[in-house]
Chain A
């Protein structure tokens, strides 16, 4: 009997190829655990890809909403301060928020753009983790878990109501990641080189 992947000769009892580590297809017993691990990792990878796409899409969605909101606010502020001299207005603004009227407008617009950038970066990170999970599922899933929890804690601090938004998806994603971390920790013994 030879390995289907690399052609190495196999012993009768070998369940994995001693040369390349490929699993030998067998009639009974064995391999169940490995298949469960692979299942957990591939499920987490699907989730990661979905979350990556969702993050990018919602980034654009919130950018559209936020920028129209900010533009409305700017228009309102301009109307409200129409009667005041520009110098007086800037002096009042500086006292209140530490910047001139023009600076405040640029700051608000900049924040909306930064939010878009953050979401695009996040989407990119999830996408990178999706790729990484193929090579090192344990590290990728654990990193994704830390990232995902942090991001949602940060947005919950900024805007408490985001905590319950899509709470089911969040819980399911975290569960998938935890399963993948566990499976990855188990699978590491086969997939990872010895740490040096």
Chain B
């Protein structure tokens, strides 16, 4: 029973790739997920876990071992010692709560699943307001819900769990730190693999001085890595690849916006080169004496496609499962910037990455980002030729 409660509460903010029914992977998934994200933190854990607990005697200990705590070494004893007595006390003093929770639970769950976005947020606040009536705790303190991490009852008005210090309102997925570590591994795994590709081809270029082949090799290797990673995490990509995100007018705005973005970036590069009187060879020198289609494809088509799918599709979408918008934006853009193997390009690629992430967040699709990225890279080509 507690297993059920935990999975209900845990599903909404973060869905495991394999767990989602195929029907749900429609274009609207992202929006729904986002909405549930906010909801789960505030109300869902209170509802799902309250219901799941009713009637079960050793639920405290169970929840600890089958939940996220089970993965944390050495914490079981500690958590038990504080959770079980608290629950026992609650049971002695609050038989009415469990009865009420049993009654309320099915209707609350159904209403939650079927309601529209506006109703959901209204319901969320209604639930919060209603909960204190459901139970009055020891010494006049009320119990509005349970800690999303250690399942200890919370006092009304509490901002932190008295048992483990977890902040009240934290999404269950976030409360389990191990989930965050899964996303960290995903980020670092891709980053290190992409870094290795960049290093191998840079060394290969140094050995052979064949810039054209090195560019081709690096471009296609990164595309292949992205494709492989994308297949592995295809549930993250299903929605953002399937929707266009913006209308034609939206794409027009992105096209217009790419002009000031390009001018800012090239002004920074010129300033840096001017200040240090550097004469860097153009990136397009590798394609000198070849068809103009080569630089167009290798600069303005392939990298935008693979980088957007990788950083804004897989990594940003993956990090969003356990991190906030700002954090996921920052980390995916930081990895994106550092992959360009230059510390000074951090100042252009970090904002660029954040801009593409914002497009992804705003549209729910990677395509506006691909378009903006392609416009930018094409602009760089045009500026170089001109």
Count chain A CB atoms within 10 A of each CB in B89, B141, B155 and give the residue with the most: B155
CA distance A106 to B327 in the complex (A): 41
In the complex, whether B290 has a CB less than 8 A from a CB of chain A is no
Partner of B174, one of A18, A19, A189: A189
Question: For chain B residues 153-167, which have a beta carbon within 8 Å of chain A?
Answer: 154-155, 157-167
A23 touches B78 (CB 8 A): no
A194 touches B184 (CB 8 A): no
In the complex, whether A41 has a CB less than 8 A from a CB of chain B is no
Partner of B177, one of A14, A106, A146, A189: A189
A138 touches B278 (CB 8 A): no
Contact with A along B316-329 (1 / 0, CB 8 A): 00000001110100
B199 touches A20 (CB 8 A): no
Given the known A-B contacts A11-B155, A110-B276, A143-B334, are A195 and B162 also in contact in the complex, defined by CB atoms under 8 Å?
no
Chain B residues in 8 Å Cβ range of A118 = 343-344
Question: For chain B residues 224-280, which have a beta carbon within 8 Å of chain A?
Answer: 272, 275-279
Count chain A CB atoms within 10 A of each CB in B138, B164, B176, B177 and give the residue with the most: B177
In the complex, whether B75 has a CB less than 8 A from a CB of chain A is yes
In the complex, whether A68 has a CB less than 8 A from a CB of chain B is no
Closest to A104 in B: B279
Partner of A114, one of B78, B138, B276: B276
Q: Which of A76-84, A147-155, A164-172 contacts B (4 or more CB under 8 A)?
A: A147-155
Contact with B along A163-196 (1 / 0, CB 8 A): 0000000000000000001100111111111111
In the complex, whether B342 has a CB less than 8 A from a CB of chain A is yes
A143 touches B331 (CB 8 A): yes
B170 touches A189 (CB 8 A): yes
Chain B residues in 8 Å Cβ range of A13 = 82, 85-86, 89, 162-163
Partner of B338, one of A11, A104, A142, A146: A146
CA distance A109 to B89 in the complex (A): 75
Question: For chain A residues 3-30, which have a beta carbon within 8 Å of chain B?
Answer: 10-11, 13-21, 23, 29-30
In the complex, whether A32 has a CB less than 8 A from a CB of chain B is yes
Contact with B along A94-130 (1 / 0, CB 8 A): 0000110001101101110110011001100000000
A122 touches B343 (CB 8 A): yes
A30 touches B78 (CB 8 A): yes
In the complex, whether A139 has a CB less than 8 A from a CB of chain B is yes
In the complex, whether A145 has a CB less than 8 A from a CB of chain B is yes
In the complex, whether B15 has a CB less than 8 A from a CB of chain A is no
Given the known A-B contacts A153-B199, A195-B37, A196-B38, are A98 and B279 also in contact in the complex, defined by CB atoms under 8 Å?
yes
Closest to B341 in A: A154
A194 touches B341 (CB 8 A): no
Closest to B89 in A: A13
CA distance A30 to B82 in the complex (A): 8
Given the known A-B contacts A138-B180, A185-B180, are A21 and B278 also in contact in the complex, defined by CB atoms under 8 Å?
no
Question: For chain A residues 58-108, which have a beta carbon within 8 Å of chain B?
Answer: 98-99, 103-104, 106-107
Chain B residues in 8 Å Cβ range of A193 = 167
Count chain A CB atoms within 10 A of each CB in B85, B163, B199 and give the residue with the most: B163
Closest to A145 in B: B188
CA distance A106 to B141 in the complex (A): 74
Besides A18-B157, A189-B149, 20 new A-B residue pairs in contact (Cβ under 8 A), listed by A number: A14-B163, A16-B160, A17-B160, A17-B162, A18-B159, A29-B77, A30-B78, A139-B331, A142-B184, A149-B191, A153-B199, A185-B178, A186-B72, A187-B177, A193-B167, A194-B167, A194-B169, A195-B37, A195-B174, A195-B323
**Can you list 16 A-B contacts (CB < 8 A)?**
A10-B162, A13-B89, A15-B82, A15-B165, A21-B160, A23-B165, A33-B72, A110-B276, A110-B278, A114-B344, A142-B184, A146-B191, A157-B203, A189-B167, A194-B169, A196-B37
